[in-house]
């Protein structure tokens, strides 16, 4: 009786079973598989590890994978914000269809997306021929990788920003206008700071998805070593050659780098949240 | 600075939100726009602020026609019902906002902004909360931040949309008294919208009572209370009973009964008689000839006056009668008993 009274009331069943279940679940789904990656790698010795992860071909693939994933996430942040804005702020015929289209990159099997993108952006493709005429090669180059990663990352930004945009109250913008703020000032000082946390989350999700993406990229990338070969492909190649330790070694580097970047994004969000509650001290009289 | 509106109109689809309103709000006074919800009072306020465009008519601020002027350039302070604070900014930054967005050549120096904001924080008694975020404040505190934020840009008039609407009764009363004191200090021309008659009568110098997009009556609270211009004003201000019937000789005929009262309507005119609750009387049927029979439902004999609730015979309409407590004790009405309702003072209006 007394123990029941002491416990804080909560909707979900008690703290202990909930936390226990959470930990077991995270272990089964996330931690144990990841630990296996580290365990496999640990068996190979330091020199072999460095040889596997620091080979020039592998380093070139890190640059391509992380560079194009960051760039694709940045492009998605900008255009995803625009798409979310148009979908929430304007009424136009076909709005619901446009809204549903956003989710397609989620739903499409990545190989299908890859084949479609490769066909469209190939030098003879519908879009590729115009780029080709302008002297720009998209398919089978790093640019093709960027196109594929941008395609699969779009829904993350739109779907994280959209609900926040919908919840923004109209009277807050009216208040800003009433206080003399222009349109640009209202966007930069009132709307954007409220969207920024969601935008960062969308950016992080799009980035994380893009780093690990395989299926849609390999068809359009051309997979030339040192030029358009992504890290996940290096891992697959190593696996196909029964070099399991080498494959997990590269995976460990990818994991740690992704984790560091996501942590940095989280820290940025926390810093941004703290920044709101500041006020300078009163000037002395 | 005074505010005038002339022949203002605004429709939302079929609904006439503001229907040909002409008003003048005297400089330095606190005016209440009072009315039931949907009567157009908030729309009128928003048109004056420039947040809404009228379809026809003129808005004059300080002798200038401002209809074509953007909301940003009207120098009108506006306080929103739900505060509309910037939730990602501290209280300090919320209040400083209007100063920070000024064009560079008009923008005060950082030290001047700081001094101004802290002066306003002192005025609204929130100096300790400069670094708080709006979410960390109570409703009453948020409302005061919203007021300080509006005052920071030194508006020429102050408009408040249901300023106490979202607050609980006790805070509402405190904030009301505080706002009145503040107005007496600043003497800024102020308009506030409310649906609460007590708030309007208590706080305002002038009351504009609106109904269905039109002005029913305007004047000081005392004028409105003493001489209501229509049955609507009677029903909205104070507690009154309305009886519908036909004008007879020195009486209102309601069905087979008659309510004796003085009026100057031609006999036979359909009419409505308005009687304040404290101008109604009760009598036992054998003592009096005139009056409307009604059945006693409840007797509340405490407080300043006793209240008797009755259902009129025939229509079953609920009537509330306020009696002096001694009179109620002497009459001793019992629930279920039939009494006669009579009017000691009444005003009759012809029904159109």
Where are chain A's structural domains? 65-229
Residue B342 CA to residue B328 CA, distance in Å, equals 15
DSSP state string for A9-74: P-SSS-HHHHHHHHHHHHIIIIIHHHHHHHHHHHTT-HHHHHHHHS-HHHHHHHHHHHHHHHHHHH
ipTM: 0.83
Phi, psi of A43, rounded to the nearest 5 degrees = -75, -10
For the purposes of burial, counting CB atoms within 10 Å of the CB of A235, is it exposed (0-12), middle (13-18) or buried (19 or more)?
buried
CB atoms inside a 10 Å sphere around CB B219: 15
Question: Could you tell me if A139 and A146 are in contact, meaning their C-beta atoms sit under 8 angstroms apart?
Answer: no
For the purposes of burial, counting CB atoms within 10 Å of the CB of B269, is it exposed (0-12), middle (13-18) or buried (19 or more)?
middle
pLDDT at A6 over 70: no
Phi, psi of A95, rounded to the nearest 5 degrees = -60, -40
Nearest to A283 among B72, B78, B115 (CB): B115
Q: Which residues of A touch B (CB under 8 A)?
A: 169, 171-172, 174-182, 185, 189-190, 193-194, 276-280, 282-283
Predicted confidence at residue B290, as pLDDT, reads: 80
Residue A22 CA to residue A13 CA, distance in Å, equals 13
Residue A13 CA to residue A7 CA, distance in Å, equals 11
Provide CB contacts within 8 A for A38, sequence distance 6+. Answer: A248, A252
Residue linked to tokens 């780098």? A257
pLDDT at B246 over 70: yes
Residue B51 CA to residue A174 CA, distance in Å, equals 7
Mean of pLDDT over chain B:
90
Predicted confidence at residue A9, as pLDDT, reads: 61
Predicted confidence at residue A79, as pLDDT, reads: 96
Q: Which fold has domain A65-229?
A: MetI-like fold (1.10.3720)
pLDDT tens profile A126-142: 888 898 888 888 888 89
Nearest to B95 by CA among B160, B154, B162: B154
3-class DSSP state for residue B158?
strand
Q: CB B72 to CB A276 under 8 A? A: no
Interval A153-162 mean pLDDT? 94
Q: Which of chain A's residues have a Cβ under 8 Å away from the Cβ of B97? A: 176, 179, 181, 189
Q: CB A177 to CB B71 under 8 A? A: yes
For testing the chain A interface, which of B48, B49, B70, B72 should be mutated: the one with the most A CBs within 10 Å?
B72
Predicted confidence at residue B296, as pLDDT, reads: 93
Residue A110 CA to residue A230 CA, distance in Å, equals 15
Q: CB B92 to CB A278 under 8 A? A: yes
Interval A56-82 mean pLDDT? 94
Q: Which of chain B's residues have a Cβ under 8 Å away from the Cβ of A278? A: 90, 92-93, 131
Taking the CA of residue A188 and the nearest CA in chain B, the distance in Å comes to 11
Q: CB B51 to CB A174 under 8 A? A: yes
pLDDT at A85 over 90: yes
Interval A4-24 mean pLDDT? 74
**Residue B315 or A183, more confident:** A183
Question: Could you tell me if A258 and A208 are in contact, meaning their C-beta atoms sit under 8 angstroms apart?
Answer: yes
Nearest to B23 by CA among B1, B41, B6: B6
**Residue A163 or B260, more confident:** A163
Mean of pLDDT over chain A:
88
| Nearest residue of A to residue B135, measured between CA atoms | A277
pLDDT at A284 over 50: no
What are the helix (H) ranges across B68-138?
A: 91-100, 110-123
Could you give the count of Cα atoms lying within 13 Å of A243 in the half-sphere of its Cβ?
16
Q: Which residues of B touch A (CB under 8 A)?
A: 49-51, 71-73, 76-78, 80-82, 84-93, 97-98, 100-102, 110-111, 114-115, 118, 127, 130-133, 136, 146, 149-150, 152-153
CB atoms inside a 10 Å sphere around CB B324: 12
Q: DSSP assignment, residue A190?
A: I
Taking the CA of residue B131 and the nearest CA in chain A, the distance in Å comes to 5
pLDDT at B9 over 50: yes
pLDDT tens profile A107-124: 889 889 999 999 999 888
CB atoms inside a 10 Å sphere around CB A1: 5
Nearest to A190 among B72, B76, B86 (CB): B86
Residue linked to tokens 């960390």? B136
Confidence band, pLDDT 50/70/90 cuts, at residue B42: very high
Q: Taking each helix axis from N to C terminus, what angle separates B139-152 and B169-186, rounded to the nearest 10 degrees?
A: 20
Predicted confidence at residue B347, as pLDDT, reads: 87
Could you tell me how many CB contacts below 8 A there are between chain A and chain B? 95
Question: Could you tell me if B190 and B159 are in contact, meaning their C-beta atoms sit under 8 angstroms apart?
Answer: yes
Taking the CA of residue A204 and the nearest CA in chain B, the distance in Å comes to 21
Interval B93-119 mean pLDDT? 93
Predicted confidence at residue A285, as pLDDT, reads: 43
Interval B147-152 mean pLDDT? 94
pLDDT at A2 over 80: no
For the ranges A94-98, A271-275, B239-243, the lowest mean pLDDT is seen at A271-275
Residue B331 CA to residue B153 CA, distance in Å, equals 62
pLDDT at A12 over 70: no
CB under 8 A, 24+ apart: contacts of A101-104: A102/A154, A102/A155, A102/A158, A102/A159, A103/A155, A103/A159, A104/A155
CB atoms inside a 10 Å sphere around CB A14: 12
pLDDT at A61 over 80: yes
Q: CB B78 to CB A175 under 8 A? A: yes
Provide CB contacts within 8 A for B102, sequence distance 6+. Answer: A180, B108
pLDDT at A273 over 60: yes
| Nearest residue of A to residue B98, measured between CA atoms | A179
Residues in chain B, how many?
352
Nearest to B90 among A169, A193, A279 (CB): A279
pLDDT at A5 over 70: no
Question: Could you tell me if B18 and B47 are in contact, meaning their C-beta atoms sit under 8 angstroms apart?
Answer: yes
Q: Which of chain B's residues have a Cβ under 8 Å away from the Cβ of A178? A: 49-51, 71-72, 76-78, 150
Percent share of chain A, pLDDT over 90: 52
Confidence band, pLDDT 50/70/90 cuts, at residue A161: very high
Question: Could you tell me if B245 and B259 are in contact, meaning their C-beta atoms sit under 8 angstroms apart?
Answer: yes
Q: CB A178 to CB B118 under 8 A? A: no
For testing the chain A interface, which of B101, B120, B161 should be mutated: the one with the most A CBs within 10 Å?
B101
Taking the CA of residue B120 and the nearest CA in chain A, the distance in Å comes to 12
Q: List C-alpha distances in Å: B293 to A24, A243, B155, B281, B289.
A: 77, 102, 57, 12, 11
């Amino acid at each position: 009786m007394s123990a029941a009274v002491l416990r804080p009331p909560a909707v979900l069943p008690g703290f202990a079973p909930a936390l226990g279940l959470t930990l077991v679940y995270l272990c089964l789904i996330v931690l144990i598989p990841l630990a296996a990656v580290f365990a496999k790698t640990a068996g190979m010795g330091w020199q072999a590890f460095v040889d596997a992860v620091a080979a020039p071909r592998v380093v070139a693939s890190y640059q391509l994978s992380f560079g194009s994933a960051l760039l694709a996430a940045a492009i998605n942040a900008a255009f995803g914000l625009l798409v979310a804005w148009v979908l929430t702020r304007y009424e136009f015929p076909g709005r619901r269809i446009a809204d549903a289209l956003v989710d397609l990159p989620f739903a499409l099997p990545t190989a299908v997306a890859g084949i479609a993108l490769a066909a469209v952006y190939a030098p003879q493709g519908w879009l590729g021929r115009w780029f080709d005429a302008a002297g720009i090669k998209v398919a089978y180059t790093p640019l093709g990788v960027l196109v594929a990663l941008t395609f699969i990352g779009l829904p993350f930004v739109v779907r994280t920003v959209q609900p926040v945009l919908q919840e923004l109250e109209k009277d807050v913008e009216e208040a800003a206008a009433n206080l003399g703020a222009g349109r640009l000032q209202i966007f930069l000082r009132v709307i954007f700071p409220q969207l920024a946390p969601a935008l960062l989350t969308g950016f992080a999700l799009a980035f994380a998805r893009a780093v690990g993406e395989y299926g849609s990229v390999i068809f359009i990338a051309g997979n030339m070593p040192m030029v358009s070969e992504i890290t996940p492909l290096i891992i697959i190649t190593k696996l196909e050659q029964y070099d399991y330790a080498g494959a997990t070694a590269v995976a460990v580097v990818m994991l740690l780098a992704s984790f560091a970047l996501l942590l940095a994004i989280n820290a940025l969000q926390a810093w941004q949240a703290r920044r709101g509650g500041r006020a300078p001290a009163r000037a002395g009289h | 600075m005074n505010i005038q509106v002339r022949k203002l109109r605004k429709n939302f689809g079929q609904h006439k939100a503001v229907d040909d309103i002409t008003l003048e709000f005297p400089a330095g006074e606190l005016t209440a726009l009072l009315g039931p919800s949907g009567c157009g009072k908030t729309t009128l306020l928003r048109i004056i602020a420039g947040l809404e465009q009228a379809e026809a008519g003129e808005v004059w601020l300080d002798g200038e026609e401002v209809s074509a002027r953007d909301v940003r350039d009207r120098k009108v302070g506006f306080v929103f019902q739900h505060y509309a604070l910037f939730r990602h900014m501290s209280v300090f930054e919320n209040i400083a906002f209007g100063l920070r967005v000024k064009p560079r050549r008009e923008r005060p120096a950082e030290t001047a902004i700081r001094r101004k904001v802290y002066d306003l924080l002192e005025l609204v008694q929130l100096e300790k909360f400069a670094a708080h975020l709006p979410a960390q404040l109570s409703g009453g505190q948020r409302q005061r931040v919203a007021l300080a934020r509006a005052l920071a840009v030194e508006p020429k008039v102050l408009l408040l949309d249901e300023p106490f609407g979202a607050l609980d009764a006790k805070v509402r009363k405190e904030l009301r008294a505080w706002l009145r004191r503040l107005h007496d200090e600043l003497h800024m021309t102020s308009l506030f919208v409310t649906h609460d008659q007590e708030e309007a009568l208590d706080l305002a110098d002038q009351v504009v009572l609106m109904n269905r997009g039109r002005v029913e009556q305007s004047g000081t609270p005392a004028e409105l209370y003493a001489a209501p211009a229509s049955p609507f004003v009677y029903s909205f201000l104070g507690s009154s009973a309305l009886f519908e019937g036909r004008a007879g000789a020195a009486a209102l005929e309601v069905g087979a009964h008659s309510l004796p009262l003085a009026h100057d309507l031609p006999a036979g005119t359909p009419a409505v008689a308005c009687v304040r609750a404290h101008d109604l009387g009760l009598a036992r049927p054998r003592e009096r000839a005139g009056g409307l029979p009604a059945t006693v439902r409840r007797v509340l004999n405490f407080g300043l006056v006793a209240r008797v609730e009755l259902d009129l015979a025939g229509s079953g309409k609920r009537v509330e009668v306020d009696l002096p407590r001694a009179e109620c004790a002497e009459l001793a009405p019992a629930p279920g008993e039939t009494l006669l309702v009579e009017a000691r003072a009444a005003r009759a209006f012809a029904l159109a």
